[in-house]
C-alpha cells in the first residue's frame, strides 16, 4: 500500500506540471510568436515481483510480474508550428512565414526570436524595443548591392541620407508623325507645318534642362528635326554611322508607315563656350542617346511624346519597406528606390532544443545545434512579411481540453492517495 501512495504522489506531481505548462500556454495566448509547450509523461521504474521463465518441454513460459512506481514528466517540448499573421501596417513590424528566427545582438552574445516587433532607435538602428538588442543583417554598399561576403552587423537605417543625382543618358520618343502634314513651298509662300515636343533632362548636379525636339515634314516619307535647350547652354545633334555633327536630324519612313532610317541620334548639351565644356551651372556636359525607333508615320494627328527617360535629381530618404527576402528598401524623395540592407535569419537542426530566456528570446543549448545563418528565400526556407506580426500558435480549445484531462488525472491520483491511506488505517486497526 505504501507503493500505491507513492504512485499517487507521482501522478499528482506529473499532472501538476502538465497544468503548469497549460497555464503558461493560456497566459501567452496573445504573446506575439509564442510557441506552445507540451508536457509528455513517462512511466516510472517498475519493481520486479517475479521474474519470467522460459518455456520447457512440459510447461509454457511465464511472463515477468512487475508493478510500476507511478509516472514522471518525460519532457516539455516547444511546438514550432506556424502562428497566424496579424497585419499591423507598421513598417518595422516583421513576421516570419516558414522556418527560422531573427538574430539579435547584445554585446558579444546573440539571441534568437520569432517576435518581430522592432523599432528604430535614436541612432537609426533596428532594435527590439523590449531589450534594446539590435537586429542583425548585411548592409548594402554604395551601389545598393548586398554581397554574401559582407559581414553580419547591426541593421542601421541611414536617416536623412542623400541619394546623389544621376545625369540623363537615354531618352526615347514614341508616337505618330502626321503623314498629311504640309511641306514648305517658298515659291507659293507656303510654310511648313511643324510639331514640337519636350523632355526634362537632368545634369550631373540634378538640375533640370528643358530639351525641345521640333519635327518638320520635308518630303514624302521624309522628316527633319531639330533640338534646342532653354538657357545659355548649347545643344548639338550627332547622327549617322559613324556619328557626325549635323544641323538637323533626318528620319525616313517606309510606305507602310514604319521607320526606315534615322532611328538613333545623340544629343550633346554643353556650356556656351562649346563642346566639351561644363554647363553654365558647373555641371558636366550631358550626352543623351536619343531613340526614335518608336515613331511611325500615318495619316492621323501628331502624338510623339517621351516614353522613357532616365536620370534624376538628388533626394533624401523618405520611407522604408521590407520585401519577402527581408531586404530593407529605401524610397527617396526623387522617386528612386535602393536596397539599404538585408536581415539575416538563423535556423537550427533542433529548434525544440533552444533555451527560453524570457522576452520572447531563445538561446542555443547543447541539443539545439549551432545556428545556420542565411537569408530568407535562399538558404533559409522562409519569407519575411513586412507590416505584420506572427501570432501565438496556442489552440485555446485544445488547451482547455488538456486542462480538463489534467484536472481529472490530478483528482484521480488524489483519490488514490486517500484510498491507500484509508486501507493503511484499516490495517493498523487490526491490532486493536
**Claim to verify: residue 75 and residue 107 sit in the same structural domain:** no
* Secondary structure (H, E, C), 55-112: CCCCCCCECCEEECCCEEEEEEEECCCCCCEEECCCCCEEEEEECCEEEEEECCEEEE
Of the two residues 368 and 49, the one the predictor is more confident about is: 368
Place of cell 541611414: 158
* Number of independent structural domains in the chain: 3
Name the band, by pLDDT with cuts 50, 70 and 90, for residue 376: very high
Place of cell 554604395: 142
- Report helix, strand or coil for 230: coil
Residue 60: inside a domain, yes or no? Answer: no
pLDDT in tens, 24-49: 999 999 999 999 999 999 888 887 88
Residue 42: inside a domain, yes or no? Answer: yes
pLDDT in tens, 249-266: 999 999 999 999 999 999
**Claim to verify: residue 105 and residue 131 sit in the same structural domain:** yes
Residue 54: inside a domain, yes or no? Answer: no
Measured CA distances, 176 to 146, 258, 279, 295 (Å): 43, 10, 33, 6
Arithmetic mean of pLDDT, 382-406 = 96
pLDDT at 187: 85
Beta-bridge partners for 180: none
pLDDT at 387: 96
Per-residue pLDDT at 221 exceeds 90: yes
Identify the sign of the CA torsion 111, 115, 117, 118.
Answer: positive
**Claim to verify: residue 184 and residue 151 sit in the same structural domain:** no
**Claim to verify: residue 299 and residue 322 sit in the same structural domain:** no
**Claim to verify: residue 115 and residue 227 sit in the same structural domain:** no
pLDDT in tens, 164-180: 899 999 999 999 999 99
Closest CA to 316 of 199, 128, 162, 94: 162
pLDDT at 44: 84
CA distance 32 to 10: 34
Residue 55: inside a domain, yes or no? Answer: no
Per-residue pLDDT at 432 exceeds 80: no
Name the band, by pLDDT with cuts 50, 70 and 90, for residue 162: confident
CA distance 85 to 27: 19
Per-residue pLDDT at 406 exceeds 70: yes
CA distance 332 to 149: 27
Question: C-alpha angle 426/430/432, rounded to 5°?
Answer: 115
CA distance 269 to 201: 10
**Domain final residue, candidates 286, 309, 332:** 309
Measured CA distances, 224 to 176, 179, 196, 218, 394 (Å): 14, 13, 12, 7, 74
Cβ–Cβ contacts within 10 Å for residue 258, how many?
A: 11
pLDDT at 1: 61
**Domain final residue, candidates 309, 329, 346:** 309
Per-residue pLDDT at 396 exceeds 70: yes
**Claim to verify: residue 325 and residue 281 sit in the same structural domain:** no
pLDDT at 299: 94
**Claim to verify: residue 116 and residue 217 sit in the same structural domain:** no
Of the two residues 5 and 116, the one the predictor is more confident about is: 116
Per-residue pLDDT at 104 exceeds 80: yes
CATH of residue 267: 2.60.98.20
pLDDT in tens, 202-217: 999 999 999 999 999 9
pLDDT at 46: 80
Residue 278: inside a domain, yes or no? Answer: yes
pLDDT at 177: 96
Regarding beta strands 286-298 and 170-178, do their DSSP bridges make them parallel or antiparallel, or are they unpaired?
A: parallel
Residue 183: inside a domain, yes or no? Answer: yes
**Claim to verify: residue 303 and residue 176 sit in the same structural domain:** yes
Q: What percent of the chain has pLDDT over 70?
A: 100
Query: Phi, psi (5° rounding) for residue 103?
Result: -105, 125
Per the CB < 8 A criterion, the answer to whether 245 and 237 are in contact is yes
First and final C-alpha spacing in the chain: 20
Closest CA to 80 of 106, 98, 92: 98
Arithmetic mean of pLDDT, 114-119 = 96
Name the band, by pLDDT with cuts 50, 70 and 90, for residue 367: very high
**Claim to verify: residue 295 and residue 252 sit in the same structural domain:** yes
**Claim to verify: residue 92 and residue 202 sit in the same structural domain:** no
pLDDT at 424: 82
Measured CA distances, 67 to 41, 51, 317 (Å): 17, 12, 73
Cβ–Cβ contacts within 10 Å for residue 39, how many?
A: 19
CA distance 160 to 86: 30
pLDDT in tens, 345-361: 999 999 999 999 999 99
| Conformation bin of residue 204: beta by default, left when phi > 0, alpha when psi is -120 to 50 | alpha
Grid cell at residue 287: 550626352
pLDDT in tens, 300-314: 999 999 999 999 999
Residue 322: inside a domain, yes or no? Answer: yes
pLDDT at 425: 81
Closest CA to 101 of 153, 136, 151, 148: 136
**Domain final residue, candidates 275, 309, 343:** 309
Arithmetic mean of pLDDT, 329-353 = 94
- Per-position b or e across 339-368, b if 16+ CB within 10 A of its CB: bbbbbbbbbbeebbbbeeeeebbbebeeeb
Per-residue pLDDT at 7 exceeds 90: no
Per the CB < 8 A criterion, the answer to whether 279 and 270 are in contact is yes
Per-residue pLDDT at 191 exceeds 70: yes
**Claim to verify: residue 198 and residue 292 sit in the same structural domain:** yes
Domain containing 134 equals 85-163+316-390
pLDDT at 6: 80
**Claim to verify: residue 284 and residue 198 sit in the same structural domain:** yes
CA distance 319 to 244: 45
Q: Over the chain, what is the mean pLDDT?
A: 93
Residue 351: inside a domain, yes or no? Answer: yes
Amino acid at each position: 500500500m505504501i507503493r500505491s501512495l507513492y504512485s499517487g504522489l507521482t501522478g499528482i506531481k506529473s499532472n501538476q506540471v502538465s497544468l503548469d505548462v497549460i497555464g503558461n500556454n493560456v497566459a501567452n495566448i496573445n504573446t506575439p510568436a509564442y510557441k506552445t509547450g507540451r508536457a509528455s509523461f513517462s512511466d516510472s521504474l517498475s519493481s520486479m515481483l517475479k521474474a519470467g521463465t522460459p518455456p520447457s518441454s512440459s510447461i509454457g513460459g511465464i511472463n515477468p510480474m512487475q508493478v510500476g512506481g507511478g509516472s514522471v514528466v518525460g519532457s516539455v517540448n516547444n511546438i514550432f508550428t506556424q502562428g497566424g499573421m496579424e497585419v499591423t501596417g507598421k513598417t518595422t513590424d516583421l513576421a516570419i512565414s516558414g522556418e527560422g528566427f531573427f538574430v539579435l545582438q547584445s554585446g558579444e552574445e546573440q539571441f534568437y526570436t520569432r517576435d518581430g516587433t522592432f523599432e528604430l532607435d535614436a541612432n537609426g538602428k533596428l532594435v527590439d524595443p523590449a531589450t534594446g538588442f539590435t537586429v542583425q543583417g548585411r548592409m548594402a554598399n554604395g551601389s545598393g548591392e548586398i554581397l554574401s561576403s559582407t559581414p553580419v552587423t547591426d541593421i542601421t537605417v541611414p536617416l536623412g541620407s542623400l541619394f546623389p543625382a544621376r545625369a540623363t543618358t537615354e531618352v526615347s520618343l514614341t508616337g505618330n508623325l502626321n503623314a498629311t502634314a504640309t511641306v514648305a513651298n517658298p515659291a507659293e509662300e507656303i510654310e511648313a507645318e511643324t510639331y514640337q515636343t519636350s523632355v526634362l533632362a537632368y545634369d550631373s548636379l540634378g538640375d533640370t534642362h528643358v530639351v525641345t525636339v521640333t519635327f518638320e515634314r520635308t518630303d514624302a516619307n521624309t522628316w527633319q528635326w531639330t533640338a534646342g535647350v532653354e538657357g545659355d547652354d548649347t545643344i548639338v545633334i550627332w547622327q549617322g554611322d559613324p556619328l557626325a555633327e549635323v544641323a538637323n536630324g533626318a528620319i525616313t519612313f517606309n510606305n507602310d508607315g514604319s521607320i526606315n532610317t534615322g532611328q538613333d541620334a545623340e544629343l550633346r548639351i554643353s556650356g556656351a563656350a562649346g563642346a566639351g565644356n561644363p554647363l553654365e551651372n558647373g555641371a558636366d556636359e550631358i550626352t543623351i542617346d536619343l531613340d526614335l525607333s518608336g515613331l511611325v508615320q500615318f495619316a492621323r494627328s501628331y502624338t510623339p511624346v517621351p516614353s522613357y527617360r532616365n536620370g534624376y535629381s538628388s533626394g533624401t530618404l523618405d520611407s522604408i519597406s521590407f520585401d519577402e527576402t527581408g531586404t530593407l528598401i529605401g524610397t527617396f524623395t526623387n522617386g528612386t528606390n535602393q536596397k539599404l540592407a538585408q536581415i539575416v535569419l538563423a535556423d537550427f537542426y533542433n529548434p525544440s532544443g533552444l533555451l527560453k530566456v524570457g522576452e520572447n528570446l531563445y538561446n542555443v543549448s547543447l541539443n539545439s545545434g549551432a545556428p545556420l545563418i542565411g537569408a530568407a528565400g535562399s538558404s533559409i526556407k522562409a519569407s519575411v512579411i513586412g507590416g505584420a506580426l506572427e501570432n501565438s500558435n496556442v489552440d485555446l480549445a485544445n488547451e482547455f481540453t488538456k486542462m480538463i484531462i489534467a484536472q481529472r488525472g490530478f483528482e484521480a491520483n488524489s483519490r488514490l492517495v486517500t484510498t491507500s491511506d484509508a486501507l493503511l488505517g484499516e490495517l493498523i486497526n487490526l491490532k486493536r
